[in-house]
Amino acid sequence: MSLRQRPRRLRTSPAMRSMVAETSVEPRRLVLPLFVAEGLREPRPITSMPGVVQHTLDTLRKTAVEAAHAGLAGVMLFGIPEVKDAQGSGALDPHGILTEAVRAVRQEVGDDCLVMTDVCLDEFTSHGHCGVLTPSGTVDNDATVELYAQMAVLHAEVGAHVVAPSGMMDGQVGAIRDALEAAGHHDTAILAYAAKYTSAFYGPFREAVASSLTGDRKTYQQDGANLREALREVALDLAEGADMVMVKPALAYLDVIRAVREAVDVPVAAYNISGEYAMVEAAAANGWINRDAAVAETLTSIRRAGADTVLTYWALEWAQRWAEAGRR
């Protein structure tokens, strides 16, 4: 048979497939989320996320240095205090666990790896919501936003390169940008969790941050049925001063990542969240899938959808594998 067009010609060998690959997942595109818990003497495994731990400050420092050496873009820090209260006051403690973690990591990595912080109260509140509550039990948007602004300034003061408000409060980005400017932190970037959906896939994360949440967050996180709403949220965050925007979760929202990528001219991030990680790890542990191939396919799909940056718990492992492959 004589065929002029044979697409398979470009799939004949690993070298050929590599040359024509349209999407790659370099370590510089990845951010490693890290959890640090107050009062630990040894890292505490997170049972629903095999291979992921709540760090001590010492192991956090070590892991951050490894991330920098591996060429990762950054680390996203989450702090878990020993004591929580209704106001989430530990979030504003100059010597609280997250504040100390930022200091420690920035001291270790300098500008070689971006120090990024989660600006939210859910790790710090006794009720587990992302903000303070009104007497009727609903989240008080405006009072919460004021606390986010204070939190972001505190993080910038102790060394954060990037602050990432994740609570989905109306006006949070504008309040943070104004507060950072007023405090002289003109170069601190804001990565806005602009399109953050309510999701069943957050389950393992709740264990990771020792969440005490009862109920749900449907009054502030987005409805998974909506795409136009996500684009509106993204536009609002950019108008308020966001430098980058994020879609979270990633795998069930690849269409949203693509739509956001096509709508904006700023960097787009996506969070490959805990439940997405746990599903692959659980299936691989049972011998149902090839783990390494599934990880590669997952990360590639998120990049292919349009994410410039991917937050993933596989970031360090992936970067180390990337380096090893380069040495062969």
Residues making up the chain, counted from first to last? 328
For 139, the 3-state DSSP assignment is: strand
Output the six-digit token pair for 257: 């990542």
Indicate the annotated binding residues for Mg(2+).
233
Q: Provide the CB-side half-sphere exposure for 119 (13 A, CA).
A: 34
Active site residue 196: yes
**Which residues carry a binding-site annotation?**
206, 217, 233, 274, 313
Known binding-site residue numbers for 5-aminolevulinate: 206, 217, 274, 313
* Plot region of 164 (φ>0 → left; ψ -120 to 50 → alpha; else → beta): beta
Q: How far is CA 120 from CA 69, 87, 227, in A?
A: 28, 12, 24
Closest CA to 40 of 55, 50, 53: 55
Kindly name the residue from 62, 84, 196, 218 that is annotated as catalytic.
Answer: 196
Q: Mention every residue, 6+ apart, whose C-beta is less than 8 A from residue 261.
A: 268, 305, 306, 307
Query: What does the alpha-carbon distance between residue 93 and residue 228 come to, in Å, rounded to a whole number?
Result: 38
Contact predicate 122/129, CB 8 Å: yes
Give catalytic status of residue 62 as yes or no: no
Active site residues: 196, 248
